[in-house]
Amino acid sequence: MLFLNVIPIFIARGIERPHTYLTIAGFTPHPAHYILHGKTRSIRLDHIEKLCKLLICEPADLFVWYLNKNEILSDKHPLKKLIRREEETNIHNLIADVPFKDIAKIAAAIKEQKDDQETKKEA
């Protein structure tokens, strides 16, 4: 079954108050609540687009898929790409016990990757 799963993206982006963030960005309170709690059975395309612009992600990043019991799909089925492993997306937790000099190296690597992406956009 397909579910909307945006909380990990908010955590990864360091957004501590996602509901407030969404309402300030123009979502009304009820849709913001349903989006954050995955309780929506449908989502408007303009909301998907707005979320992707705000969170700098792709539509597929917003969803997670779980195989229903007694359901079999081939390993190559495209929905299998939406199965999420429980990965640590909170950068603060990941680097909490990393020495400061190593954090500087990580920051430099991230900056280099961002610079490479900017160079590709300009080309």
Q: Are residues 42 and 55 in the same domain?
A: yes
Our count of domains for the chain comes to: 2
Are residues 50 and 84 located together in one domain of the fold? yes
Do 110 and 55 have their domain in common? no
Q: List phi, psi (to 5°) of 89.
A: -110, -5
Same domain for 98 and 62? no
Dihedral, CA of residue 12, residue 50, residue 82 and residue 88, to nearest 10: 0
63 and 39 together in one domain: yes
Residue 95 has pLDDT above 60, yes or no: yes
The verdict on pTM exceeding 0.95 is no
Q: How far apart are CA 119 and CA 122, in angstroms?
A: 5
CATH number at residue 28: 1.10.260
**pLDDT band, residue 98 (cuts 50/70/90):** confident
pLDDT range class, residue 90, cuts 50, 70, 90: low
Confidence class of residue 36 from pLDDT cuts 50, 70 and 90? Answer: very high
Domain of residue 99, residue span: 91-123
- 18 or 102: whose pLDDT is higher? 18
pLDDT at 94 (0 to 100): 77
Could you give the CA distance from residue 33 to residue 11 in angstroms, rounded to a whole number?
Answer: 16
Residue 87: pLDDT over 70: no
